[in-house]
A and B are shown apart, each in its own frame.
Chain A
Amino acid sequence: RKEVEQDPGPFNVPEGATVAFNCTYSNSASQSFFWYRQDCRKEPKLLMSVYSSGNEDGRFTAQLNRASQYISLLIRDSKLSDSATYLCVVNAMDTGRRALTFGSGTRLQVQP
């Protein structure tokens, strides 16, 4: 089983739609959680950290459910510029590794 699992999509949604992605992680000792965004043929860039209490940044809301070991990302009022791959990222400190583990990504295509 992969450490971080995501639905690869693609999610094809019209402009203005609300879309949600989920991600599950296998290591219950995971401590830090993030969503990164990756445009086609570009490097991943941090979109937002995910906190236990949930957090919001403009049109983006991230939630963490430790009991079920999943993370979600909600995008409201989708824009064409939101089209990208969204990577779920986890850091499990118990391994002693300070590296982040990435999911395979969920592709979003926002259509006019």
Chain B
Amino acid sequence: GAGVSQTPSNKVTEKGKYVELRCDPISGHTALYWYRQSLGQGPEFLIYFQGTGAADDSGLPNDRFFAVRPEGSVSTLKIQRTERGDSAVYLCASRVGGANVLTFGAGSRLTVL
């Protein structure tokens, strides 16, 4: 696609529920990143994919968070047993080849009640 697409744009859920957030990167971009941004803060790194594999998942806060990219394109961030502290905007970004510049999607705003 022309840009990074993220769905849903908004998600409201109850504490303890399971949530999936989807990212469709720019066509041809091999690297895909997930970041989380809380109000008044900068984006915080969660996980980075190079192709299908997670090259660095050191930013995932705990084992309730998991992400996949089975075919090297679309990625899904999965959050189990959501907590109120998980409320944030989840940003996906992609980049091409060896470039350092990231192109972000519009984000998925998650609210856990």
Q: Is the pair A97, B100 in contact by a Cβ cutoff of 8 Å?
A: no
Residues of B within 8 A of A96 (CB): 56
A46–B103 alpha-carbon span in the complex (Å): 8
**Nearest-neighbor residue (CB-CB) of A99 within chain B:** B45
Interface of A is mostly: loop
Q: Is the pair B106, A49 in contact by a Cβ cutoff of 8 Å?
A: no
Number of interface residues of A (CB under 8 A): 22
Residues of A within 8 A of B33 (CB): 99
User: Is A101 close to B, CB under 8 A?
Assistant: yes
User: Is B105 close to A, CB under 8 A?
Assistant: yes
Which B residues fall within an 8 A CB radius of A?
Answer: 31, 33, 35, 40-45, 48, 50, 55-56, 58-59, 91, 100-107
What are 8 pairs between A and B in contact, CB < 8 Å? A44-B91, A87-B43, A97-B56, A99-B33, A99-B45, A102-B35, A102-B44, A104-B42
Which A residues fall within an 8 A CB radius of B?
Answer: 4, 8, 32, 34, 42-46, 49, 87, 91, 96-105
Which 7 pairs show the lowest CB-CB distances between chains A and B? Answer: A102-B42, A43-B104, A99-B45, A104-B42, A102-B43, A32-B100, A97-B56
